[in-house]
Amino acid sequence: MYLADLRSSHSYVFGEFQSHLHKGFSGQTSAKTIDTYLSLFIFGFIYQIVLAYDALRLKNTIQVIGLCLYNFGLLVYAAVQTGQIHDIILILSTASAGGPPGISLQIWFDLKPYLIAVPCVIGLGTILLSAVAWKLYDEFAWTIYKNISADVRMKRRYLVFQVGSARSLPNGTICLTEASRSTSRC
């Protein structure tokens, strides 16, 4: 739910920016940077959903903790993104070479509440995700303990298995499935 709200907020910002951009300015580098910022953000959330599913399916506590760190990284990116979008709108709103401006400055005032709300929501989500990760850590630890008992060697082997569960291939592909752990290819 939380990720869907953030994706829809960024999709709205993306659509509003594109609809207010005057013809002939969509090819400018400064206009393309906003597209890149917002697209990376939206795909970052989709990737987080895939990682969360994989972490919960495999009961991998290390991956759940990694998701908390990933969410914190998205928080920093969202905070930086607000200022970057403001700067780009200012650049596009000034007339260049005597021509008309590329976008109305009013769009900043329309989008600003959404762009400020996103880091706030992500910050709250990071806190909640960390609390849930702590509870999952306790639950997964108990499940693991029931499965492998108190054998120290088995605990160490299982930790190595969890750390190595997301291995990457020479071509840069990351394998996250159970089948990839038992075979040499994804």
pLDDT tens for each residue of 132-142: 888 887 777 76
Amino acid occupying residue 82: T
pLDDT tens for each residue of 53-97: 888 888 788 888 889 999 999 999 999 989 998 998 888 887 666
Domain ranges of the chain: 2-135, 149-186
Q: Which residues 6+ apart lie within 8 Å of 35 measured at CB?
A: 14, 18
Average pLDDT, the chain: 77
- Alpha carbon of residue 132 to chain centroid: 18
What pLDDT does 127 receive? 93
What pLDDT does 158 receive? 65
Q: pLDDT band at 169, cuts 50/70/90?
A: very low
CB 81 within 8 A of CB 115: yes
pLDDT tens for each residue of 112-157: 999 999 999 999 989 998 998 888 877 777 676 666 666 667 667 6
| Torsion sign over Cα 102, 103, 105, 108 | negative
What is residue 175's three-state secondary structure? strand
Q: Distance between CA 45 and CA 59 in Å, rounded?
A: 21
User: Pseudo-torsion of CA 76, 35, 83, 129, nearest 10°?
Assistant: -20
DSSP state of 151: -
pTM of the model: 0.70
CB 26 within 8 A of CB 107: no
Task: Report the residue count for the chain.
Answer: 186
Q: pLDDT band at 182, cuts 50/70/90?
A: very low
